[in-house]
Structure 1
Amino acid sequence: MKHILLIATGGTIASRHTAEGLAPRITPEELLSYVPDAASFCSIDTVQPINLDSTNIRPEHWLLLANLIEENYHRYDGFVICHGTDTLAYTASALSYLIQRTSKPIVLTGAQRSIDEDTTDAKVNLLDALRFACSGKSGVCIVFGSHVIAGTRARKSRTKSYNAFTSLNFPDLASVHESRVVRYIPYEPQGEPVFYHKLNTRVFLLKLTPGMDPAAFEAAGKLCDGLIIESYGMGGIPDVYLEELDKLIRQGKTVIMATQVPQEGSDLSVYQVGKHVKDRYHLLETYDMTLESTVTKLMWAMGQSSDPQEIRKLFCATVNYDMLF
């Protein structure tokens, strides 16, 4: 029988109604009491390092979770993290970079409705996550609505429906149907797991909008070491912003071009407005990455090195299926 560590962090799955709205109140032991069938296929220990609405989850919490898993890595066969849905994709992406080449499942799940409600997706999601954690299928992933999604590919695409998460620009890794796990994409880690302990959180995401004041670039530069520009379509910078972009490049900021379009990714080589800035500044671009993985990967890369070439090398290396180009 597999031995699983259930890590509770709060979120809707563990919330109760209060006079001020839903708030995390349910303990991890109580969560398990709603899924008694889990005891038939695994033994479970529980821990609750934080108890937050996921809106309040920050990078220091990602590091806390990664350290907790590292400390317990050799004691358990798999890990299940119960987490709020709003920042679940960010946490899954961050853990994909902080814990690499894991041979054990690190599974994140949550729910759109609390586990103590009469009608809820929480019980199925939690059971599915525990089953996947026992399946021997490794890697950092999200299990939600019967879908198993790579930790770097998830996006919350619905605010109320049970099928809340979508795998962007990449197929699901697997599915869970009742007691059966069906894996579509094999995962074969090479070597021992690697744990990282540093993030540079001075990352800023600037979303272009028509008519935005060029001073926004200067303001963003004061807040960050790495700037992600969320452009239109396949990517490009309007001419009115090039002078400000010049300044950021001279200041040594790492600048990455992304797209506001969720499907199919960027390609700066197609249009003049994109090709010009890529050739002029040698900008990094996200291609088919999600914004969640772009933000967390840049934090991770800049946390490992301040050398621009090393940051570029780390960012361009594929991790947990995050970039295919």
Structure 2
Amino acid sequence: MPSSTLPSERIVPEGPWGLTLITALVLTAVSAMGAEAFVRELGYRPSVADTRALWSYHRGRVYAEDGKSIVLLGASRMQAGVSLEVFRDHYPDYRITQLAVSATSPLATLKDLADDEEFVGIVLCSLSPSALQAGVEPDHSQERHVAEYWEHRRSWNLIARLRLQFIDSRFAIARPQFRLRPQIRQLLMGTESAGPDFMVTKFDRSQQLDFQKIDIEKQRARRVGGTVQFFEKYIPDTPDREAWMEAARALKPSVEKLRNRGGRVVFIRFPETGEHWRLSESHYPRTQFWDHLAESTGTPTIHFRDVPGLAHFECPDTSHLDYRDTDAFTNALIDECVGQNVLPKPE
């Protein structure tokens, strides 16, 4: 009786499979190189997603021997307004770490560094007066970034995500808008691609804003409109000055902890222009608020309007610097920090 049992081993036809595999890999690589060259010709640049995983990676790199660590805190003005390359040129022996997070208050991260007894270094903290307004911090806090760092800093999931972001930082074709799902969504919704993004985020978390790539009038109106909504939601017409001063004094313990370990802290008011500056000044006149910050915190402060090298910059959207200005701005900021004995004189 004939057996109905099928052969347990699959017969693989003979052929030059090694050559076929190599050919396929070469064709794939050539296609990827061609696609990369094409999208770069269109004006796209590599950019990574600014995730809490990436922030956590850099938070874990603030430690350096002899306290040779410079940490940048703040929100989008610090993240996009400072050139890390310029800092590295001036301080090649220092570890420079960008921990600013767009649309957030840096107070939670400042406290975290102060409470971390293993950290010794220099903290440059961009701060807007509204960050000390009661009610702003809970909705715009960096606490979730800090919590994720301490909870997942050694997890394999974090490492896997970082590997993907490391690839994203080198290939423009890896940007989200070139993936299949966003393309299908655009087709279904009948929307058009916005074109090259004016903001690029590097793996070191520094950002570059190229305002020549967008309609600056629309962006300016959007930025001012968002600021008006923020003030209407969080900021009273007449802020409570004593409550603000109390919040400022609450920063002093963190400053003292850092200083007692050999570190230094400076609070910096980054440039604003046009309507954005008028809104800020109308609610928080600097003579009543900012000018008292140094005394309240016991540490130096820098206001852009007090420093000629910082005061002349124009913010295209009234709130941020174009990337073409960041080198000059960073050089001027370093000079002022050296003059106030916050940073050592570059060798």
Task: State the TM-score, normalized to the length of structure 1.
Answer: 0.29
Pick the structure with greater CA Rg: 2
Task: State the TM-score, normalized to the length of structure 2.
Answer: 0.28
Q: Which is richer in strand?
A: 1
Q: Which is richer in helix?
A: 2
